[in-house]
Amino acid sequence: MDTLRTRAEIEKTAHFLDVGPDRLAFLAALPAADVRRFREQVTASLFDDQPDMLDRIAKATKLVPTSIAATISQKALGAKLAARVAGRLEPARAADIVEKLPIGFTAESCGHLDPRRVRDLVERLPEDLVVKIGVVLATRADFVTMGRFVGHLSDAAIGRILGQVGDDVVLRVGFFVDMPERLDHIVGLMDTEKLASVIRAASTESLWAEALAVASMVGDARRAEIARLTARQDGEQLDALVRAVHREHLWEALLPLVALLDGDDRRAVAVLPSLQSPEVLGDVVRAVVATGLWSDFLPLVDVLPEKSRQLVAEAAGTLDDADLDRMASAVQEQDLWEAVIPLVELMDDAAKERVFALEAFQDFDGDPDSNNSDGDSGISSKDGSAK
């Protein structure tokens, strides 16, 4: 899931620097954790090295009534500078001033607030005000800022905001959440009907990448529920998911979810038109080789229609030597030869011979429970003899 997490971190950093994500495309090759550390360093640099003027303004606000300080913030400072000053104030004083400001101005200022000061400020704001700010941020499509704040909100505030924003907002904000460890709890605040509606929004709003990112950050039980509800969408929506994953090369995000499905739900995925495409299945095989997700992929292969299984076998059989060896090594390491052998049987003779020659295959002893008394695999080689 590093691909999606890295993408989110790049977009959050770009938003903070007020530049387009394309300006930071050079970060795409880095792990998400490294990009996050870079973003945190940028934050420290921007907010710790502030001009003395901000401290003088912050001190001055302590000398005037709260209402006057709020007026100065709005009329003289503007949203960005007011947010910088708020970060230099005691949280209680900053909260008192925020309560006197128009909601729209406060929402705009939130995007410029030092992220390290968010929790202390949010904890001191009335719930009604927090909810109003959240709804305005959603209306303005400032999902990055919402993602920065949502982990610090109370369950009651989150529940009220969920009732006033579109289902797509859950996915858009979840994608940018700064506290992924809170996401399982937040998703758990939604009942099954609401969660299913959010998943439908992934299709109608073309937000499958965001949905997959959210699924990757919740706990195992919640992830299984998301997988099950997704598999029970209509076929057209499911097919759109597979095609989006193919287009954006996100198999590493989807396959672990498919592996969580039971038989009927897995078969609903297996018969999708997109999974009968040589191009799509070839892309899946290459992605599985690159990621080593054989244990997630093979349960799906097991229920694919025969034609699709043949296409998977052909794609595996045409891998170059390096990838074929990588495939065999991963299968051997994960002890999955018993599940892979049926695919090898579907390969042409030339591909079989290449598999037979692999060192990893030579180490395979066959099925100990098979009817072959000598324990061999029973695969026929090119000349028809038992391998």
- Retrieve residue 305's tokens: 């229609």
Each residue's pLDDT tens digit, 131-144 = 999 999 999 999 99
pLDDT at 368 over 50: no
Each residue's pLDDT tens digit, 229-281 = 999 999 999 999 999 999 999 999 999 999 999 989 999 999 999 999 999 99
Domain ranges of the chain: 234-387
pLDDT band, residue 51 (cuts 50/70/90): low
**Whole-structure pTM value:** 0.86
- Retrieve residue 166's tokens: 């579109």
- Beta-bridge partner residues of 380: 386
pLDDT band, residue 371 (cuts 50/70/90): very low
Those residues with Cβ within 8 angstroms of residue 329's Cβ, 6 or more apart along the chain or in another chain? 360
What local confidence, expressed as pLDDT, does residue 274 receive? 96
Each residue's pLDDT tens digit, 70-88 = 898 888 888 888 888 888 8
Burial of 318 (0-12, 13-18, 19+ CB in 10 A): middle
What three-state secondary structure class fits 259? coil
What local confidence, expressed as pLDDT, does residue 281 receive? 96
User: What's phi and psi for 150, nearest 5 deg?
Assistant: -60, -35
Each residue's pLDDT tens digit, 175-228 = 999 999 999 999 999 999 999 999 999 999 999 999 999 999 999 999 999 999
Residue 384, phi-psi category: left (phi > 0), alpha (psi -120 to 50), beta (remainder): left
**DSSP string for residues in 213-256:** HHHHHS-HHHHHHHHHHHHTS-HHHHHHHHHHHHHHT-HHHHHH
What local confidence, expressed as pLDDT, does residue 61 receive? 79
